[in-house]
Chain A
Amino acid sequence: MRASTALGSAPRIFSSTTTIVYLVFFVVLLLSTVIAASAGRSFFTQGNISVLLTSTTVLGFVSIGQTLVILVGSLDLSVPFLVSIASVLSAGVMAGQSANMASGIATALITTTLIGLVNGLLVGFVKINGFIATLSVGLIVSGYLFSNYRGSTGKAAPALASLGEASIGFVPVMTIIMFLCLVATVALLAKTRVGLHIYAVGGDPAVARMSGIHNAVPIIVTHSLSGLFAGIAGLVIVARLGVGSPGVGEQGGYDLLSIAAVVLGGAVLAGGRGSLWGSLGGILIFATLDSVMGIMQLNPYLKDVVRGLIIIMAVAVYARSSIPRTTFRFPVASEGRRASVSTARGEL
């Protein structure tokens, strides 16, 4: 037994911030139940839970990728356009034929992964800031989409459409697939070198480089995966709507929503800190809010006000609960002050 257990061994999967994320989630869930009940309705109907899970699925896929990109210290603003391009490409290739399903899926996912790779190369090698690089690539994809497609296009393969409607119990199959992808990505982060290097590069690029890591590698891997997951999100939309649409990603607002979900999940925007479980909690919080506001038939614009307030409150709580006790090299007298500076910087 090592003497330092006084320090507490850091829990590997659920960090303290992630615990708080789920506490916030349960508070939101409890309030939602109470509010629904006070209006004479029930929150926990099977139909409502199904809707709630469905609405987590698309944002879930996008947020898995966004979490990776944020952990490495970058951002992905091109995701909504990748969702859209995946939807039009897959629906276009499938053209309503189940025989074309595999080629439709492959076309969409290869395209979005390659665009993600371009993002990664721009950030990792050309060293363009992630915000700017993905914004620009997103604009280019958006221009391509709207100059080549007008309104909905193509048709989902029937097999894909039925997969979109299938569920096991009240849990949609697509949600289960999303969850499995999330678990696989958790394993990637915890059990592979590149996963650990994602955290290292996001945490301190200079130290990572000094330790012999090629910083571009984790950056390129995360951006490519973000492209892949945005593509899968596009497929989920095609499965549900039956057609592809050049504006469907933008309408979903998946760029800012996914970033918000990741931040709500306790990740630090500067990188190096956060977890996929936290991001999942962030998505569940959003989905619960949407669901209860739907039940209460609130003005949809008011939803955004509530979302905004929740993000501010949650992130303020995280900042207080996880004051970094970083000890600096020459602190002694000024330690308190510098620590507070680092809090301000590191926690938004």
Chain B
Amino acid sequence: MKLVFALQARGISKSFFGYPALSNVDLDIRRGEVHGLVGENGAGKSTLMKILAGVYAKDSGFVRLNGEEVDFSHPVQAYKAGISTVFQEFNLIAERTVAENIFLGREPRVHGFVSRREMTRRTEALFDTLGVDSINPAVRVRQLSVAQQQIVEIAKALSYEPRIISMDEPTSALADHEVELLYGIISRLTARGVSILYVSHRMREIFDLCDRITVLKDGQLVATHDAAELTEQELVRLMVGRSLSALFPPVAPGTTVGEVALELEHAGNGLVDDVSLVLRRGEIVGMAGLQGSGRTEVLEGISGAAPFTRGFLRLNGERALIRRPKQAIRKGIAHITEDRKATGLTLNQSVMDNALAVIRSTQPSKAGKARHRANQLFLELELAARGPDQEIKFLSGGNQQKVVLAKWLLAEPRIILLDEPTRGIDVGARHALYSVIRSLAAAGHAILMVSSELPEVIGMADRILVMKDGRLAAELPLGSSEEAILQAASGVSASEVAA
């Protein structure tokens, strides 16, 4: 009897540090189908994928592969059992060749010696299967484009002769014509009976590719449906599944939009150009746009990390020149960066050392007093830590972000730039951060918030700026729809987006 399902997972649960990331999730993948896995950020898609890939161990539940129960403790076990994974972060060594990367750890040998000829031959065979002929197996991976690297990853996944390939946001770095190439590769794979678990945020791809769709929300299974049964609106409703007002607190009482705090006029820094915008006290301005559209670079221009070289920047109506972050800090600008671990925190230092980092470098004479104020802020922000001396790497993402906020608030900024403020933060902690942001606006700060999550931008911002290709593409009012933002961000009409 031939089994219909390549994979059956039942009752999968996983928590991190006591926070449940997945609870009791079921997943069935049929042979040769493309199975979409969708949900908002933090819904548990990546966790589920990493459990199937052997990166994380599940807390409970079981996984059957072709009817046999499997339990992985190392990614290689998953590969060997027939589940290959193409992660969002590439697993390639830049200095090694394409063929060496694909067969890393399993290099073919002839008479005990690694055979490059055999390795090249098999690599070419893999590329033939994928219908790709534009990648030389002997080229170093660092010489390839992102799209080519993606193909190498898929070829590597295919080299294990998997029954299932899971792909995490495989198109997030690809241009449109490259996405077409990926579609072709996927249809070739499914024709061979390989199943694809496809994780993506992009509705169009989900509906173009997937036979069935599983929706996760807050770590729980919402439903699995045939793609043909669903409309896009229905899918979005399943994904969001709660009114935005529950997650996003209302405007704090006493918030008044006041005078202009910052103004950019035709500003540019080589990364973005001709950006004109106004931030007012008490106002939260959202900034949306696709990856690489220049959102982060606008913030970096303002904060001096990548200073503007063209146009004007005015603070409280007066022209200001900001060439270095230190000058921006002294002028009352705080920049909460996108990559908390790399540029927001020094992970092996204490909570207090991290909180005092800005004040120590810009106003060292106030550092003593700031210590007291920092402890107050920790209380106000309801920081959950064992104490100010705990190393920050042991805190959850939400609490780490609170320390980053405390660090900047100690410098008493008037303008706060937030870049993806809730990235990697679970839903409960998000709500707390949103409340903090609201109260900062109420206290008269001007806030510019970049986010990739449209519900967040829509739920929090008083106005929405949309970036596209390094320029400001649109300014949308309160209450704009996701479609309107997407349209401005991608430059296609609303009907195309929906199609």
Chain A residues with a Cβ under 8 A of chain B = 2-5, 7-10, 12, 190-193, 195-197, 199-200, 203-204, 207-208, 210-213, 272-273, 324-334, 337
Q: How far is the CB of A183 from chain B (nearest CB, A)?
A: 15
- Give A11's nearest chain B residue, CB to CB: B138
Other A-B pairs beyond A4-B139, A325-B142, A329-B88, 10, CB < 8 Å = A5-B136, A7-B139, A10-B140, A10-B143, A12-B138, A191-B113, A212-B76, A326-B94, A334-B271, A337-B271
- Is A324's CB under 8 angstroms from B94's CB? yes
A7, A324, A333: the one contacting B293 at CB < 8 Å is: A333
**SS class of chain B's interface: helix, strand, loop or mixed?**
loop
- Is B138's CB under 8 angstroms from A9's CB? yes
B74, B88, B144, B306: the one contacting A337 at CB < 8 Å is: B306
- Give B53's nearest chain A residue, CB to CB: A210
- Is A191's CB under 8 angstroms from B114's CB? yes
A196 to B101, CA, bound (A): 10
B residues less than 8 Å from A324 (CB atoms): 94, 142
B77-96 CB contacts (< 8 Å) to partner A: 79, 88-96
- Is B91's CB under 8 angstroms from A334's CB? no
- Give A1's nearest chain B residue, CB to CB: B133
- Is B139's CB under 8 angstroms from A193's CB? no
Q: How far is the CB of A321 from chain B (nearest CB, A)?
A: 14
A195 to B107, CA, bound (A): 11
Q: How far is the CB of A50 from chain B (nearest CB, A)?
A: 36
- Give B104's nearest chain A residue, CB to CB: A211
B residues less than 8 Å from A197 (CB atoms): 104-105
Interface core residue of B92, B93, B133, B294 (most chain A CB under 10 Å): B93
B90, B91, B116: the one contacting A211 at CB < 8 Å is: B91
A residues less than 8 Å from B93 (CB atoms): 199-200, 203-204, 207-208, 272
Is B135 positioned at the interface, with any CB of A under 8 Å from its CB?
Answer: yes
Q: A3-B133, A210-B91, A333-B292 are in contact. Are A327 and B74 (CB under 8 A)?
A: no
Binary contact track B121-159/A, C-beta < 8 Å → 1, others 0: 000100000000111101110111110010000000000
Q: A10-B138, A200-B96, A273-B95 are in contact. Are A327 and B114 (CB under 8 A)?
A: no
Q: A10-B97, A200-B93 are in contact. Are A333 and B142 (CB under 8 A)?
A: no
Interface core residue of A195, A199, A211, A212 (most chain B CB under 10 Å): A211
Q: A332-B292, A333-B297, A337-B306 are in contact. Are A327 and B134 (CB under 8 A)?
A: no
- Is A327's CB under 8 angstroms from B292's CB? no
- Is A193's CB under 8 angstroms from B107's CB? yes
- Is B292's CB under 8 angstroms from A331's CB? yes
Q: A203-B95, A324-B94, A330-B292 are in contact. Are A212 and B173 (CB under 8 A)?
A: no
Q: List 30 A-B contacts (CB under 8 A).
A: A4-B134, A4-B136, A5-B136, A7-B139, A12-B138, A192-B112, A193-B109, A193-B114, A196-B100, A196-B114, A200-B100, A200-B105, A204-B94, A208-B93, A208-B104, A212-B105, A272-B93, A273-B95, A324-B94, A325-B142, A327-B145, A329-B146, A330-B173, A331-B146, A331-B292, A332-B292, A332-B293, A333-B271, A334-B297, A337-B271
A residues less than 8 Å from B149 (CB atoms): 327
- Is B294's CB under 8 angstroms from A333's CB? yes
A residues less than 8 Å from B355 (CB atoms): none
A residues less than 8 Å from B172 (CB atoms): 329-330
A195 to B109, CA, bound (A): 13
A residues less than 8 Å from B470 (CB atoms): 333
A191 to B113, CA, bound (A): 5
B residues less than 8 Å from A9 (CB atoms): 136, 138-139
Q: How far is the CB of B370 from chain A (nearest CB, A)?
A: 31
- Is B107's CB under 8 angstroms from A196's CB? yes
A334 to B295, CA, bound (A): 11
A residues less than 8 Å from B74 (CB atoms): 212
A208 to B113, CA, bound (A): 20
B residues less than 8 Å from A7 (CB atoms): 136, 139, 143-144
A191 to B114, CA, bound (A): 5
A12 to B139, CA, bound (A): 10
Interface size class of B (residues with CB under 8 A): 35 or more
- Give B107's nearest chain A residue, CB to CB: A193
Is B349 positioned at the interface, with any CB of A under 8 Å from its CB?
Answer: no
Q: How far is the CB of A329 from chain B (nearest CB, A)?
A: 5
- Is A192's CB under 8 angstroms from B114's CB? yes
The 10 A-B pairs with the shortest beta carbon distances in the complex, nearest first, are: A332-B292, A212-B76, A203-B93, A4-B136, A211-B105, A212-B105, A211-B104, A191-B113, A326-B142, A327-B146
B residues less than 8 Å from A327 (CB atoms): 142, 144-146, 149
Is B75 positioned at the interface, with any CB of A under 8 Å from its CB?
Answer: yes
Is B60 positioned at the interface, with any CB of A under 8 Å from its CB?
Answer: no
Interface core residue of A4, A8, A204, A213 (most chain B CB under 10 Å): A4
- Is B297's CB under 8 angstroms from A10's CB? no
Q: How far is the CB of B154 from chain A (nearest CB, A)?
A: 15
Binary contact track B284-325/A, C-beta < 8 Å → 1, others 0: 000000011110110000000010000000000000000000
Q: A193-B107, A213-B105 are in contact. Are A325 and B96 (CB under 8 A)?
A: no
Q: How far is the CB of B341 from chain A (nearest CB, A)?
A: 15
B10-52 CB contacts (< 8 Å) to partner A: none
Q: A9-B136, A272-B95, A325-B142 are in contact. Are A334 and B105 (CB under 8 A)?
A: no
B224-241 CB contacts (< 8 Å) to partner A: none
A330 to B171, CA, bound (A): 11
B75, B97, B135: the one contacting A210 at CB < 8 Å is: B75
Is B189 positioned at the interface, with any CB of A under 8 Å from its CB?
Answer: no
Q: How far is the CB of B143 from chain A (nearest CB, A)?
A: 6
B residues less than 8 Å from A273 (CB atoms): 95
Is B334 positioned at the interface, with any CB of A under 8 Å from its CB?
Answer: no
Is B488 positioned at the interface, with any CB of A under 8 Å from its CB?
Answer: no
- Give A193's nearest chain B residue, CB to CB: B107
- Is B139's CB under 8 angstroms from A199's CB? no
- Give B295's nearest chain A residue, CB to CB: A333
A203 to B101, CA, bound (A): 11
A260 to B306, CA, bound (A): 35
Interface core residue of B74, B114, B149 (most chain A CB under 10 Å): B114
